[in-house]
Amino acid sequence: MIRGYRYQPFCPTLIDDRELCKANLWRFNEVNNPIKAISQSERELKFRAILESGLPRTLPGRGSGPDRVGTGVRVEAPFTCEFGYNIEIGCEVVISANCTIMDAAAVHIGSGSFLGPNVSIYTSTLSTDPQYRAVPHREAEARPVIIGENVFIAGSVTILPGIRIGKNSTVGAGSVVTKVCHSSAFTSSVSCRTPTCPRSPAFVSNLSLTRLPGRSS
């Protein structure tokens, strides 16, 4: 799964991993209950527990504990993810309320990045070939999502599998990101624009790769 091979999403091992993650998510999302009066340090411990769910089953050499979550990270509840153990977050990252990370493959969020409310990050998809979607051997594919440092992702953005967003980029509200975005790019719902860097690709639409008028092919 983590290496990008086809996998069966409802095999017993992955079902158990999801259930463990759900239990930790429930504990973390309870921090919104004002009666509990949970401290910030306890919030951080509960969030780290999500990312450490099922760590013995991850690849050798992958980080754990403090290595998976940087300092100064703030995550607003409610938060949702699929497994937890494939997520790595840098320092001073903000994840706003109602964000969803489906982490069948690795998801890396660089230091200083800000995710607005209702952001959805997907790493897995079913094949377009019906034979791989058929039961009882339904198979999925997973590809990592990499978000660079100091990236601003506005509210209700959807990021699809295999996407890389370069550092210092901005993704406009409501966008569906289907193409790789280079550093310092501005991404809207239909384009990825890099007006400050004339040597880099200037316009990437969701359907095609084009160049600004006057640029040679």
Question: Is residue 90 predicted with pLDDT exceeding 70?
Answer: yes
Looking at domain 12-191, which CATH architecture does it have?
3 Solenoid (2.160)
Distance of CA 211 to the CA centre of its chain: 29
Task: Write the CA distances from 8 to 19, 81, 109, 141, 144, integer angstroms.
Answer: 16, 18, 26, 9, 17
pLDDT of residue 14: 93
In three-state secondary structure terms, 127 is: coil
* Bridge partners for 209 per DSSP: 204
pLDDT of residue 138: 83
Please give the model's pTM, rounded to 2 decimal places: 0.80
Tokens, residue 24: 């930790």
pLDDT digits (tens, 9 = 90+) for 46-59: 999 999 876 655 44
Distance of CA 38 to the CA centre of its chain: 26
pLDDT digits (tens, 9 = 90+) for 14-45: 999 999 999 999 999 988 777 767 788 888 99
Q: Among candidates 170, 24, 50, which has minimal Cα distance to 103? A: 50
pLDDT of residue 208: 33
Tokens, residue 120: 């959805």
